Amino acid sequence: MNGQTYADVLTDRYGVGPEGTLNDFISRRDARLLLADQIDLNAMVARYGAPLEVAYCPQITLQVERMLGWAAEARARSGYAGEFLYAYATKANFAEEVVRTAISAGAHYETSAAADVVIAQRLWRQGVLPSDRYIFCNGSKDAAYIAAIVALRTAGFTRVVPVLDDMEELEALLAACDLPLLLGVRERHDPGDVDVRHPGGERFGLTPVEIERVVERLRQTPHQLVMYHAMVGSQIEDAAHWNTRLARSAGAYARLRQAAPSLALFNFGGGMPTSAYSLGFDFDYTGFLQRLMQTLAATCVAHEVPQPGLVGEFGRYTVAAHNVFILEVGRVKHGQDRAPDWLLLNGSLMVSLPDSLIVPGQEFIILPLDGWDRPARQVRLGGRATCDSDDFFPRPGSQPLFLPAPYEGQMIAVFGVGAYQQMIAGRGGAHHCLTPEMRRIIIERDEDALVVREIEPQSLGQIMGLLGYADVMLELPAQRPTRVPVERRTTRDSQRPARPARRRGAARIPQQARYGASARS
């Protein structure tokens, strides 16, 4: 980079300096990298070693509160009469502390399979999921999924809303449930409306003719059609296309409302952008929601129907930013013919970051913990724990990655890993090339204290047992985690999430300092 330091490169690319706020959940102060301006990642590595996963659940609360605030502002600007419902799409991250935190922050619940409903019923019985929240059941429903929905409704939860994906689901639900049901219909995209970047979404939902059949089938029954699920787009990447689709879906809702007076909710789906994947992220959430509300309001006025409650399903947006992986450079291998050097990490990228292989163009924010005043170098990251040629990042066609001049033992933080990465890779199983899961630190807030829980890294003995080699005794030299020096720092954070459940082995630490440097468990 012609003598530029790493800090210079970030300033040129994103307009951020080496100190202060980098985006809405990453900062750097006194040459130390912070998550949510609260968790000192340099100190975390010094204390726990690497590779390391840090999950800071209060960030989830903040994400929910921000969206609810933007929605309230948009309603005030637009004069929209309907309520705004925030639903957490649990498939993004099923971890108990994650789901519990989102619910405690005010989120409703969105499911995709039978197991989701079983979890929801458990949380409801525990008093975590209030009875006045909705549970929206999306996706194609097999017998187990339908049975779980019916069991939840029979147990007394009245606000479960199965969203019909085909006509057979309707008949199966009506045959299995004697109690009144709240139902939704999901529209199926016309072939010309299918987003070529996300063609899989075309398989979901009902055609307009099928939706009319649902309305007729429910007449003279105790069941009510309450929600129209538009699912305008999987990811909001093209605002113009999204708004065109929204206008058509709003019209379809309004016409259906004329035939089904019980219809009261319009679900515009998920895909809300998040700052988790780029320091250069910029999105006007309030403006987006205001335009959505204005479009729906105008459509409802034209069709002389009430303005519906708005439902958004937020998965990535809710949880992507709360998690960070810290990986160590185990070996530096020089590139050939002036190609960027390889930084071989003590782990596997295709295991830790499966979206890099699955989602075209998927980016992650990758920052070094130190060395920001060192010369910048273009590099490539490779998984040292595998011998797979696909285990690298960035992928072809992605932006080049720059880091300080590399060295063995260098620590690198990968942000935006709280959504889907572990759900796709799996947790607690045997992974590609038997890569063990890293140590996890889960941090929640309990009133004026942080509750910190440490989960030990996966052992090779555990992995072998999963594969049927329980009788194999592996004796490997103990490996001590890499540790780096740390300075003490003090500050106070005013954000407070819902009260977390205590766990065995969790430490309760007064909230008097940025965690990691001065707090001790």
Give pairs for 233-239: CB < 8 Å, separation 24+. Answer: 233/195, 233/198, 233/269, 233/271, 234/195, 234/198, 234/200, 234/201, 234/269, 234/270, 234/271, 235/197, 235/198, 235/271, 235/273, 236/271, 236/272, 236/273, 236/288, 237/197, 237/271, 238/195, 239/288
* Least confident piece of the model among 284-298, 370-384, 426-440, 473-487: 473-487
Evaluate if residue 395 carries a pLDDT over 90: no
Mean pLDDT of 388-400: 83
The sign of the torsion formed by the CA atoms of 373, 377, 382, 385 equals negative
Condensed to tens digits (0 to 9), the pLDDT of residues 328-346 reads 999 999 988 889 999 999 9
First to last CA, the chain: 43
The overall average pLDDT reported for the chain is: 86
**CA distance linking residue 47 with residue 165, whole number of Å:** 49
Helix (H, G, I), strand (E, B), or coil: what is residue 232?
Answer: coil
Distance of CA 126 to the CA centre of its chain: 24
CA dihedral 64, 65, 70, 72 (to 10 degrees): 110
Give the number of other Cβ atoms within 10 Å of residue 122's Cβ: 12
Higher model confidence: residue 94 or residue 198?
94
Condensed to tens digits (0 to 9), the pLDDT of residues 216-231 reads 999 989 999 999 999 7
Whole-number pLDDT of residue 443? 96
User: Sorting pLDDT into bands at 50, 70 and 90, what band is 434?
Assistant: confident
Give the number of other Cβ atoms within 10 Å of residue 520's Cβ: 9
Higher model confidence: residue 510 or residue 15?
15
Whole-number pLDDT of residue 408? 94
User: Sorting pLDDT into bands at 50, 70 and 90, what band is 518?
Assistant: very low
Whole-number pLDDT of residue 425? 73
User: Sorting pLDDT into bands at 50, 70 and 90, what band is 492?
Assistant: very low
Condensed to tens digits (0 to 9), the pLDDT of residues 33-72 reads 999 999 999 999 999 999 999 999 999 999 999 999 999 9
Higher model confidence: residue 9 or residue 468?
9
Evaluate if residue 172 carries a pLDDT over 80: yes
**CA distance linking residue 458 with residue 450, whole number of Å:** 25
Evaluate if residue 376 carries a pLDDT over 60: yes
User: Sorting pLDDT into bands at 50, 70 and 90, what band is 519?
Assistant: very low
Choose among 214, 183, 283: nearest CA to 242: 283
Condensed to tens digits (0 to 9), the pLDDT of residues 192-211 reads 555 555 555 566 779 999 99
Choose among 205, 423, 228, 415: nearest CA to 315: 423
User: Sorting pLDDT into bands at 50, 70 and 90, what band is 266?
Assistant: very high
User: Sorting pLDDT into bands at 50, 70 and 90, what band is 430?
Assistant: confident
What secondary structure letter does DSSP report for 476? -
Whole-number pLDDT of residue 462? 85
Whole-number pLDDT of residue 494? 33
Please, what CATH class does the domain formed by 45-473 belong to?
Answer: alpha beta
Evaluate if residue 485 carries a pLDDT over 90: no
Whole-number pLDDT of residue 116? 95
Condensed to tens digits (0 to 9), the pLDDT of residues 123-153 reads 999 999 999 999 999 999 999 999 999 999 9
Whole-number pLDDT of residue 21? 95
* CB environment 260-296: b (16+ within 10 A), e (fewer): beebbbbbbbbbbbbbbbbbeeeeebbebbbbbbebb
Is the separation of the CB atoms in 150 and 169 below 8 Å? Answer: no
Q: Please state the pTM of the whole predicted model.
A: 0.88
Distance of CA 378 to the CA centre of its chain: 29
**Helix (H) / strand (E) containing 478:** none
User: 510: cis peptide before it, omega within 30°?
Assistant: no
From residue 493, give the alpha-carbon distance in Å to each of 308, 321, 510: 38, 18, 11
Evaluate if residue 511 carries a pLDDT over 60: no
Higher model confidence: residue 495 or residue 450?
450
Whole-number pLDDT of residue 404? 96
Choose among 436, 272, 256, 406: nearest CA to 331: 406
Look at the chain and count its residues: 521
- The ranges assigned to domains in the chain are 45-473
Higher model confidence: residue 308 or residue 233?
308
User: Sorting pLDDT into bands at 50, 70 and 90, what band is 427?
Assistant: confident
**CA distance linking residue 186 with residue 167, whole number of Å:** 11
